[in-house]
Amino acid sequence: MFTRISDIDRLFETMNLLQKRLDNLYGDYEKSSGYRWGFEQNTPRTNLYENGDNFEIRAEVPGLEKDDLNVKIQGNYLEISGQRKSDTPESYKTHKTERSSGSFSRSFTLSEDVDSTRVDATLKDGVLYLTLPKNEAVKPKKISIS
């Protein structure tokens, strides 16, 4: 049933989703536990929004410069990869390291093709914003009857 570690991780994701729904439902009564099931991983958390002509993706990438990030698009396939440099200063004693470092890669399959020539990517305050216009060919078109 579970052939890869990512299958198990997907199961955890489902649990997280359920937990979030419950948190929202009872949000007034109790605070979210904030606990996330799953493996400790350094892939950025991502949101996907859809509005009419565009997809919008947001990813949490604190501490990354724009040169540390790579975005690749092909049809409806999107890949965000990057490297987070460790900013451990020299000659300091370490007390705590909770922030992740190292390279990560995350890929998405969107529900529709994207016009890769008009993609807009912005990095602001540690959040990567991607605006992905849907391909003209897949947009609904009105056909006039002659």
> Out of 6, 7, 14, 32, which residue is the one contacting other proteins (CB under 8 A)?
32
> Out of 8, 71, 119, 127, which residue is the one contacting other proteins (CB under 8 A)?
127
> Out of 7, 12, 14, 27, which residue is the one contacting other proteins (CB under 8 A)?
27
What's the CA dihedral at 114, 5, 8, 132 to 10 degrees?
A: -10
In the numeric block, which tokens belong to residue 80? 């965000």
CB of 64 to other proteins, least distance (A): 6
Using CB under 8 A, which of the segments 52-60, 70-78, 112-120, 135-143 binds other proteins? 52-60
Burial 60-99 (b: 16+ CB within 10 A, else e): ebeebeeeebebebeebebebebebeeeeeeeeeeeeeee
| Kind and range of the H or E run holding 16 | helix 5-25
In the numeric block, which tokens belong to residue 145? 């009857």
Whichever of 98 and 146 has its CB closer to other proteins, that residue is 98
Q: Which residues bind other proteins (CB under 8 A)?
A: 23, 25, 27-28, 31-32, 34, 45-52, 54, 56, 58, 60-65, 87-89, 91-100, 123, 125-127
